[in-house]
C-alpha cells in the first residue's frame, strides 16, 4: 500500500510517514465530550481547550506535568456535583471514536513500504483506555504493533505544535524531514512541520486515510 498520487503529488520520494492519532486514525467527538462534562456539571471542555496555551488543566495533563489522579482531583474541584474518578474518565474518554478495521488494515499495510511512526498529544487516561480497546478488538497491545515507534506528549513532556517534539522525533528516529510525510488534523501542527521541512497532509473531512493510501 502506497501514497495516492492524487493526494500526495510531491517530487520527493517519501521514506517515512508520521501519523497523528486523534482526527487522523480515529475520529474525535468534541461535542460528545463537551456534553459528557456538562452532564457532570462541568463547563470546561470545547474544541479549543486542549490547544489553548493558557489552559491549566488539559495542557499540563498532556505534557505529563500532572498525573491522571491529579487531573481527576482538579476536575472535582470545578464542580459542586459529586463525581467519581470513573465518571470523569468516562467523560474524558468519550472524546475518542472507534478505530474501523479498514483504517487498522491500512496502518498494517503501509508499514510494509515506509517507516511509520505515531506522534500524538495524549495523556495517561486516554492511552490505557484505548490500548485496551485495541487489545479487545484486534488482539494486540495497542499501537506499538503497527508503528516502528510511538511518541506520546505526556511521556516526552513535549507537545505539538511546538517544534521541540518534532526535533526529538527527528533525532530519535534518525529521519530527514525532507524524506518524511506528516499527517495531522490541526493546522497549527501542520504549520510547524512544514517550517521544519516535512511534507504534510492536513486530514480535514471528508478526507480520510482511505483517500491517502492506495493498494
**Beta-sheet strands, E only, within the chain:** 2-3, 16-19, 115-120, 149-152, 180-184, 199-202, 213-214
* CA–CA dist 37, 71 (Å, integer): 14
Cα–Cα distances in angstroms (integers) from residue 92 to residues 49, 62, 98, 126, 171, in the given order: 13, 13, 15, 8, 32
Q: Are 186 and 51 in contact (CB under 8 A)?
A: yes
3-class DSSP state of 200: strand
* CA–CA dist 109, 126 (Å, integer): 25
Question: Is 20 one of the catalytic residues?
Answer: yes
Instruction: Name, in order, each residue with C-beta under 8 angstroms of 71's C-beta and a sequence gap of 6 or more.
Output: 57, 61, 88, 123, 124, 125
**Which of the following is catalytic: 20, 39, 85, 172?**
20
* CA–CA dist 17, 78 (Å, integer): 40
* CA–CA dist 95, 113 (Å, integer): 32
As annotated, the active-site residues are 20
Amino acid at each position: 500500500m502506497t501514497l495516492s498520487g492524487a493526494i500526495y503529488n510531491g517530487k520527493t520520494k517519501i521514506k517515512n510517514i508520521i501519523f497523528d492519532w486523534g482526527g487522523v486514525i480515529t475520529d474525535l467527538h468534541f461535542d460528545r465530550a463537551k456534553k459528557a462534562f456538562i452532564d457532570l456539571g462541568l463547563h470546561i471542555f470545547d474544541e479549543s481547550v486542549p490547544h489553548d496555551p493558557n489552559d491549566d488543566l488539559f495542557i499540563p495533563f498532556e505534557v505529563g506535568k500532572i498525573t491522571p489522579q491529579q487531573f481527576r482531583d482538579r476536575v472535582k474541584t470545578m464542580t459542586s456535583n459529586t463525581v467519581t474518578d470513573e465518571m470523569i474518565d468516562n467523560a474524558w474518554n468519550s472524546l475518542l471514536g472507534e478505530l474501523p478495521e479498514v483504517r487498522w488494515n491500512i496502518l498494517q499495510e503501509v508499514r510494509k513500504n515506509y517507516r511509520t511512526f505515531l506522534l500524538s498529544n495524549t495523556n495517561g487516561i486516554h492511552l490505557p483506555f484505548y490500548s485496551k480497546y485495541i487489545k479487545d478488538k484486534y488482539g494486540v497491545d495497542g499501537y506499538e504493533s503497527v508503528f516502528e515507534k510511538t511518541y506520546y506528549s505526556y511521556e516526552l513532556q513535549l507537545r505539538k505544535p511546538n517544534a521541540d517534539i518534532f526535533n526529538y522525533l527527528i533525532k530519535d528516529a534518525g529521519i530527514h524531514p525532507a524524506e518524511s510525510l506528516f499527517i495531522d488534523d490541526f493546522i497549527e501542527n501542520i504549520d510547524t512541520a512544514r517550517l521544519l521541512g516535512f511534507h504534510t497532509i492536513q486530514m480535514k473531512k471528508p478526507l480520510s486515510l482511505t483517500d491517502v493510501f492506495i493498494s
